[in-house]
A and B are shown apart, each in its own frame.
Chain A
């Protein structure tokens, strides 16, 4: 049951093969069974999930169900969920019960998808390994000694181990694509402005974008479409019409122009990963695609520019966390300054403090031009590189990450080496383009993702390109065998 597609689940629900309550209970059982080993969830929402499933069953019975009604899912714990703790993986918000729903949650609730729980993540989405969570590390289901990637590592692990059919994530510098790659699933970050940021706890507002993880492009198409759209509550939300992401999945790729940036295949890329990517490109050639070498000459500047822009925006965004209106407050402050300093000092983790300080310095008097403004100019250069490339090609492909999943602890004491694991993903956020990771095979028994970078608002085309690959390969159907079994206490649903 946990290997069925969303449309198979929807059709089973419609034909009463099982109810949404039974299906939801089945995934809750799997979550509880594997939580001790994977730690993918921060909050498991048994009661609310089953209550939502009951409502979905009534809608199915009365014929008012949509394509997703009754199919349970998980949300990254960065999306505010009314009446439920929304922690962003931080001690700062451990006691924060969100008083409203994020637009993404609102939309997927309206689509009838019961919420199984809130998934673990790097604190305030800052990290590439899910080692920075107040709630403990998340393990990669392919190898429990390895990281699942980050920052949406909980959502990625939940889908990879089939604890949830789909899950939301957010991507500021690679936080959907990199964990999707490292756990062998499909993940898409749409164009900046496609999915509302309202109620999505902010890290770097000009880069943050919500998206989705699933086991196939078809499943991602259904959920991404339901999440997308203009929202007046998000001042950078796009008014561009969403369209039907599923309608063009079967389009032929004959004559498709694929750009391969030579900068993404240079030294630093693991040879095992490179081999898998080459094979995937060869597969596209067989489908009639044309391969064109392109150059993104400023791509080496993406990480330096990102580590000014993202920390600067985070130091501003996280200044709202002052222990006055919500969140953690220190004991017995001597005065207001002591209150601010200790509440924040005691509640933020190491990496969050580091980025707040980098940003504070970069924005401090006398340094703005040298850092933030300079980085925004570099951002323009990086964006122009992509613009020129898209005059020649329809889609850009390459690796998502330079390596497969690394060992827990391997990079946690070395921030720079951790930052470099996002070397192929960050430029996409700076340009605001849509990006995707699809499973393309394995290197040393660990999953490798192929990255697809599309032009602005080309989500439907990217999903089509991904789907066609998944029609002729079965990498996306592989799951870690240790998580095949379900210890159900309610019987096989």
Chain B
């Protein structure tokens, strides 16, 4: 399998990763090699096999919907890149 630099650019946009043209070229080579490796799976007939999502096939544990954690907004926001009045700041979205 061969991924073009355009396809890599598209993937990097989906993944929200800024990469240079030079990096896109390098990733197109290494990603193609990885998908060649992964393609070994295609040689196996897996029809009728149940996909395995959890090593012990245990389903997700549920709990009562009750408040358990205390509000630690100030502690959490003290490590944020930019906050104001208890809110996280991001670049303006709405004109």
Q: What residues of chain A have their CB less than 8 Å away from a CB belonging to chain B?
A: 95-97, 99, 191-193, 206, 232, 235-236, 238, 298, 300-301, 303-305, 307-308, 315, 319, 322-329, 333-342, 344-346, 348, 353-354, 356-358, 360-362, 364, 371, 373-381, 383, 415-416, 419, 430-433, 456
* A358/B14 in contact, CB under 8 A: no
Residue B85 is within 8 A (CB to CB) of chain A in the complex:
no
Residues of A within 8 A of B27 (CB): 353-354, 357
A362 to B17, CA, bound (A): 16
Residue B66 is within 8 A (CB to CB) of chain A in the complex:
no
* A341/B49 in contact, CB under 8 A: no
* B11/A345 in contact, CB under 8 A: no
* B82/A353 in contact, CB under 8 A: no
Task: Given the known inter-chain contacts A364-B11, A377-B52, A378-B44, please indicate yes or no for A308 contacting B38, CB distance below 8 A.
Answer: yes
A336 to B90, CA, bound (A): 7
- Which B59-76 residues have a C-beta within 8 angstroms of A? 60-61, 63, 72, 75-76
Contact among B17, B79, B81 with A353 in the assembled complex (CB-CB below 8 Å): B17
Task: Output the nearest chain B residue to A326 by Cβ-Cβ distance.
Answer: B79
Contact among A235, A315, A322, A354 with B30 in the assembled complex (CB-CB below 8 Å): A354
Residues of A within 8 A of B88 (CB): 324-325
* B17/A380 in contact, CB under 8 A: no
Given contacts A303-B37, A304-B40, A378-B44, 5 further A-B contacts (CB under 8 A): A334-B91, A341-B18, A361-B35, A416-B37, A456-B56
Min CB distance, B9 to chain A, in Å?
10
Residues of B within 8 A of A383 (CB): 52, 55
Residues of B within 8 A of A375 (CB): 38, 41
* B37/A419 in contact, CB under 8 A: yes
Contact among B15, B51, B56, B90 with A324 in the assembled complex (CB-CB below 8 Å): B90
Q: Which 6 residue pairs across A and B have the least CB separation, nearest first?
A: A432-B55, A345-B18, A376-B51, A329-B81, A377-B46, A341-B18
Min CB distance, A303 to chain B, in Å?
7
Task: Given the known inter-chain contacts A324-B88, A336-B91, A415-B34, please indicate yes or no for A431 contacting B55, CB distance below 8 A.
Answer: yes
A346 to B78, CA, bound (A): 23
A335 to B16, CA, bound (A): 13
- Which B21-57 residues have a C-beta within 8 angstroms of A? 23, 27, 30-31, 33-35, 37-42, 44, 46, 49-56
Give chain B's interface secondary structure class.
Answer: loop
* B17/A206 in contact, CB under 8 A: no
Residues of B within 8 A of A325 (CB): 76, 80, 88
Contact among A96, A340, A344, A415 with B79 in the assembled complex (CB-CB below 8 Å): A96
Min CB distance, B46 to chain A, in Å?
4
A366 to B36, CA, bound (A): 18
Task: Output the nearest chain A residue to B93 by Cβ-Cβ distance.
Answer: A336
Task: Output the nearest chain B residue to A193 by Cβ-Cβ distance.
Answer: B56
Contact among B23, B49, B60, B78 with A381 in the assembled complex (CB-CB below 8 Å): B49
* B38/A360 in contact, CB under 8 A: no
Residues of B within 8 A of A433 (CB): 55
* B58/A342 in contact, CB under 8 A: no
A433 to B44, CA, bound (A): 23
Residues of B within 8 A of A356 (CB): 15, 17
Residues of B within 8 A of A236 (CB): 54, 58
- Which of B50, B54, B55, B72 has most chain A Cβ within 10 Å? B55
* A304/B90 in contact, CB under 8 A: no
A308 to B63, CA, bound (A): 31
* A415/B81 in contact, CB under 8 A: no
Task: Given the known inter-chain contacts A236-B58, A360-B11, A377-B46, please indicate yes or no for A340 contacting B40, CB distance below 8 A.
Answer: no
* B15/A360 in contact, CB under 8 A: yes
* B41/A358 in contact, CB under 8 A: no
Min CB distance, A123 to chain B, in Å?
14
* B81/A380 in contact, CB under 8 A: no
Residue B2 is within 8 A (CB to CB) of chain A in the complex:
no
A327 to B54, CA, bound (A): 30
Task: Given the known inter-chain contacts A337-B16, A377-B51, please indicate yes or no for A97 contacting B79, CB distance below 8 A.
Answer: yes
* B11/A206 in contact, CB under 8 A: no
A333 to B93, CA, bound (A): 12
Contact among A333, A358, A374 with B34 in the assembled complex (CB-CB below 8 Å): A358
Residues of A within 8 A of B41 (CB): 301, 304-305, 308, 374-375, 378
